[in-house]
Structure 1
């Protein structure tokens, strides 16, 4: 019964995201910042279609929950509950991402990055887990996005 209720809540939450035109995402339990919006161009319904041989751009709007001096991206593709590193070319969140460090508590920010979808990746469904880590390797934010890699 608990799984059924969780599924109903998930469907309702996804419907809210879809009706507002945002990329559907879930926040992880960790992270002190509040994520207000996620945009992957061309993705407004789950799963996000990731085409092999292309690059998937990502924009995350958030309000900093604390002050941070360092920001590092940590990205995984979660396949059958197993996290597989899915590293973007730019892991330094303070450089070329729209962020200028240090970040100030309570201020709104927009983080931008992109990740190559290699032609060698298999066709599969997965969850992309995107975390921004602080100078102590703790989550600033963490989101999960249902995705599908295909030709």
Structure 2
């Protein structure tokens, strides 16, 4: 009996270490994503380390509370409370990056309320980015609001 309890505890610890800790976006009505619903390369639990001249992969679950005909990327870095959009991604359509719940088949837009989707994308950490500590804001939505949104602490080096 003690063995099984120890094994379960170990499994929980391993799962929590591999998850990225995310925070709710302050001005978003989208639900708070669970750490297991977000995967970002080079992102341990406490802080993402984004290295210049590399590519960062992101995957997150999206369960919209209403239908979305279109979905746009709202990905920016927040430095001293000033949002700085990531070039080439901010404001672009997220529809080509929407997959089924398992993340295997591209389904695009529209998105139906209550259904589970997977957003998969990658972006370059450009060599011109300064080496700073900042907050990364990652939102998907339209002019009426977000389907999903989270923020994470990060460091560009």
If the TM-score is normalised by the length of the shorter chain, which range does it land in? 0.7 to 0.9
**Residue number in structure 2 paired with 1:92:** 93
State the 1:22 CA deviation: 1.2
1-side partners of 2:33 and 2:140: how far apart? 11
SS in 1 for 2:43: coil
1:24 to 11, 21, 24: 21
Conserved? CA contact 1:33–1:66, under 8 Å:
no
2-side partners of 1:33 and 1:88: how far apart? 26
**Residue number in structure 1 paired with 2:69:** 69
State the 1:66 CA deviation: 0.8
Structure 2 unmatched runs, 5+: 1-12, 100-106
RMSD: 2.3
**Residue number in structure 2 paired with 1:45:** 45
Matched length: 134
**Residue number in structure 2 paired with 1:139:** 146
State the 1:24 CA deviation: 1.4
Conserved? CA contact 1:75–1:87, under 8 Å:
no
TM-score (normalizing by structure 1): 0.78
Conserved? CA contact 1:76–1:130, under 8 Å:
yes
Larger-gyration structure (1/2): 2
CA, structure 1 residues 96+149, in 2 after alignment: closer, same or farther (shift >3 Å)? same
State the 1:97 CA deviation: 4.0
Runs in 1 of length 4+ with deviation above 4 angstroms? none
Structure 1 unmatched runs, 5+: 1-15
2-side partners of 1:118 and 1:86: how far apart? 10
CA, structure 1 residues 68+129, in 2 after alignment: closer, same or farther (shift >3 Å)? same
**Residue number in structure 2 paired with 1:12:** none
